[in-house]
Amino acid sequence: MCRLKRLFISQPAVSLQIQALERELACTLFERRGPQIRLTQAGQALLEIALPLVDGIDSIGEDFASELGQLDSGEINIAAGESTILYLLPEPVKAFAEAYPGIRIKLHNVTGQDGMAMLRADNADFAVGSMLEVPDDVVYHPIVNYKTMLITPLGHLLAQKKPGRLRLKDIGPYGLILPPRHLATWRIVDTVFRQHNVNYSVTLEAGGWEVIKKYVELGLGISIVTDICLTGSEDVSKVSLQRFFPDRSYGVVVRKKKYLSAAIRQFLEILAPGIIDVFSPETGH
């Protein structure tokens, strides 16, 4: 009711409009059970068709300004994890901010599940990160691959082994420092060690690659990381684990049929030139 008041529309007027639409489409859009109301299958299908159109109407001013070369207002909401925000997005964000200073950028530091929830609720325009499994309602396009590395304190015995000679069972006896269990890295590490029938132990669970690197530097353990986080300034030794772990892709995630405003399209082109052509069939552009 509060939303209807803000729109200056009464409940009976909305009911009449719904009934007229149902007559025009010759189907029932809502299922009514007492005070409760919910979409029918036909209603859900219509909603999925209508949402991009509504989004497009909301962004028509911004799109028109873009066509005239005057993209100087608007907002972009990006869902991404800490590693993506720290290591992958800084340069594209800087380039976009310099090119379009009037566009506000909001970076939402969220985990994968929370990022998906934001996409589905339309609280984020797109997400950037790594995906192991792609749900049916989104499009994922990888834009860069990173390798898996073992990092150890300087002078560690494992650091003295050549990459081709290092075995997973050499790593097993040493305590690992890993991100929280619910994140993808732990699952990947666990899968690989299980596939090779090698036991391992996690002695410290810490959030964020910067935190993990610091504790490895202090000699509190070793870690298995994606080299997205390795800048070369760390006081750690690095050994490639490419023999055991596949490359990890990072990319852009967009909800299917999501309308991409002019500002979003410009940002994505800076992030990954040509990517809009990939998303066009799925987003209706």
For 120-143, how does the pLDDT look when each residue is reduced to its tens digit (9 = 90+)? 988 999 999 998 888 888 999 999
- Quick: pLDDT tens for 25-82: 777 877 877 777 777 887 777 666 666 666 555 555 555 554 445 577 788 999 999 9
Residues 90 and 226 in one domain: no
Residues 155 and 229 in one domain: yes
pLDDT of residue 2: 52
| Model confidence at 266: pLDDT above 70 | yes
Residues 139 and 173 in one domain: no
Which residue range forms the structural domain that includes residue 276?
60-144+249-283
Residues 190 and 128 in one domain: no
| Model confidence at 192: pLDDT above 90 | yes
Total structural domains in the chain? 3
Q: Is residue 54 part of a domain?
A: no
Q: What is the mean pLDDT of residues 268-279?
A: 88
Q: Is residue 48 part of a domain?
A: no
pLDDT of residue 132: 83
Q: Are 253 and 110 in contact (CB under 8 A)?
A: no
Question: pLDDT above 70 covers what percent of the chain?
Answer: 83
pLDDT of residue 68: 43
Q: Is residue 50 part of a domain?
A: no
CA angle 98, 57, 136 (to 5 degrees): 85
CA gap 20, 26 in Å, rounded: 10
pTM: 0.73
Q: How confident is the model at residue 1 (pLDDT cuts 50, 70, 90)?
A: very low
Task: Report the residue count for the chain.
Answer: 285
| Model confidence at 161: pLDDT above 80 | yes
pLDDT of residue 66: 46
- Paired tokens of 145: 């691959």
Lowest-pLDDT range of 87-91, 109-113, 198-202: 109-113
Exposure of 237 in the CB half-sphere (CA atoms within 13 A): 16
Q: Are 107 and 78 in contact (CB under 8 A)?
A: yes
